[in-house]
Amino acid sequence: MTAPPDDCLARNEWLCGEYLTTRRAVLWDATVQHLQLTAASVAIALAVAVPLAMAARRWRWAAPPVLGATTVLYTIPSLAMFSLLLPLYGLSASLVITGLVLYSLTLLVRNLLAGLRAVPEETRQAARGMGYGPVRLLLAVELPLALPAAFAGLRIATVSAISLVTIGAIVGFGGLGNLIYAGMNTYFKAQVLTASALCVLIAVAADLLLLLAQRYTTPWTRAVPG
């Protein structure tokens, strides 16, 4: 009778410390790519969402088309989205980033607009009475008061992007998703579990960091009544 191998990789176990030590460089590269794709997509989406939300807030007629267009984009399945973008970007990281940007817009625009609309009109009137012009009113009053709602959308968009990056493995730019899909195709248990666990850890860490940033930039929301 042949004795079982003493190497957890050879036994193809789900939990395997040997995998972590021997594949450290591979895991690092995949994690870095995952973070880069997520950060780039969320940053671009935020840069696009802010002016869209401000336009929808300033001109009432702009709100329905802006919200409608971003909602339609969010309903497109991820594989279909990447397929539609393929003729424009080919098999590249830009394809994945663009798809994630389009998905993030709905969450960011809606929350930013909700935050801007929630600013009390009497607050705006008081600021105008103090000589605040439109730009100063926006930067010093409206946007700061809209931060809690904006951070709520940013947190959801970031966690969603971290999850959706894995779909980019179909074009070779999926970060940890590359390892997950490769591991599933070969039934490499340790690789699938490790890469999946790292995705969860990244999502939790990102959410906590954004929550801390929100608490730091909006101290009035945690003030204890006297």
Task: Kindly report the CATH number assigned to the domain that includes residue 56.
Answer: 1.10.3720.10
Per residue, the 3-state secondary structure of the chain, as one string, reads CCCCCCCCCCCCCCCCHHHHHHCHHHHHHHHHHHHHHHHHHHHHHHHHHHHHHHHHHHCHHHHHHHHHHHHHHHHCCHHHHHHHHHHHHCCCHHHHHHHHHHHHHHHHHHHHHHHHHCCCHHHHHHHHHCCCCHHHHHHHHHHHHHHHHHHHHHHHHHHHHHHHHHHHHHHCCCCHHHHHHHHHHHCCHHHHHHHHHHHHHHHHHHHHHHHHHHHHHCHHHHCCCC
pLDDT at 125: 82
Q: Is residue 56 part of a domain?
A: yes
- Of 103, 101, 141, give the one whose Cα is nearest residue 125: 141
Domain annotation covers residue 161: yes
Q: How far apart are CA 123 and CA 128, in angstroms?
A: 9
Q: If you search the block for the tokens 């021997």, which residue do you land on?
A: 22
In terms of phi and psi (left: phi > 0; alpha: psi -120 to 50; beta: otherwise), the region of 147 is alpha
In a domain, 225, yes or no: no
In-domain check, residue 16? no
Domain count, the chain: 1
Query: Is 41 part of any domain?
Result: yes
- Residue 95 is part of which domain span? 24-217
From first to last of its 226 residues, what are the pLDDT tens digits of the chain? 454 555 888 888 888 888 888 889 999 999 999 999 999 999 999 999 999 998 888 888 888 898 898 888 888 888 888 888 989 898 889 999 999 999 999 899 999 998 888 888 888 888 887 877 777 887 778 888 888 899 999 999 999 999 999 999 988 899 999 999 998 998 888 999 999 999 999 999 999 999 999 888 887 776 555 4
